[in-house]
Amino acid sequence: MPVLRLVLLGPPGSGKGTQAARLAERTGAQHISTGELLRAEVAAGSELGGQVAGYLQAGELVPDEVLLQLTLPLVRRAAEGAGYLLDGFPRSVGQAERLTEAAEAAAPERVLLLSVPRAELTRRLLGRAAEQGRPDDTAEVIQRRLEVFDTDTRPLIDYYGRRGMLSRVDGAATPDVVAERVCRALQAPPG
Ligand code: AMP
């Protein structure tokens, strides 16, 4: 597995977390989920958690400064080790630019886009809500998170595509099947 500075891009429910966890196990690269990091801060009742709780609950993006302060040190450290799998970051062109500038040699090499039809995303997220009870998995907030993906995050498909870094993976299948597709995509050149 040659590529270890990887961004997993895709809407909520597309399987980024599942695939990142599997890749982390196979490669030793560090799975960095910004959603998990932020939820942990909220659960711990930290000052940062207090600043971001409202955004998470509403399905809005937390401010870039807060997010970058939390994430960039982890990204740099992981890049010095076995690499990283970014799950949920960057989520806007602004964040991607900051990541490339600030990380320098630790910047991402490749981006995998997981595509899943909207109806399937909603079905998966409502299913997860019933199982895990995440407070941002209500029907209304799910809708908002999908909208935020469309307006803020979707432009990254073009952004990374133009830079020749993007591979597309059809994510509408079981985790095992998608994992196979992910492996194949990473063994081929991007594009
Ligand atoms: P996730 O677990 O990736 O679906 O993220 C859950 C929530 O965390 C999002 O709805 C945002 O409120 C916040 N979040 C996660 N990653 C980011 C990011 N890169 N930028 C801003 N907010 C984020």
Ligand 1, atom 21: nearest CA belongs to which residue?
61
**pTM recorded for the entire structure:** 0.95
Active site residue 145: yes
- pLDDT at residue 2 above 80? no
Confidence of residue 29 (pLDDT cuts 50, 70, 90): very high
List, in sequence order, every beta strand (DSSP E) within 79-152: 84-87, 110-115
At 63-103, the pLDDT tens digits run 999 999 999 999 999 999 999 999 999 999 999 999 999 88
Instruction: Confirm whether 168 is a catalytic residue.
Output: no
Q: Any catalytic annotation for residue 134?
A: yes
pLDDT bin (cut points 50, 70, 90) of residue 131 is confident
Residue tagged active-site, from 5, 98, 145, 181: 145
Distance CA(126)–CA(46), nearest Å, equals 29
Calpha distance 65→157 (Å, rounded): 23
Residue 104 has pLDDT above 90, yes or no: no
Given a cut of 60, whether residue 153 has pLDDT beyond it is yes
Q: Is the dihedral of CA 184, 158, 83, 2 positive or negative?
A: positive
Q: Which residue's CA is minimally distant from atom 22 of ligand 1?
A: 61
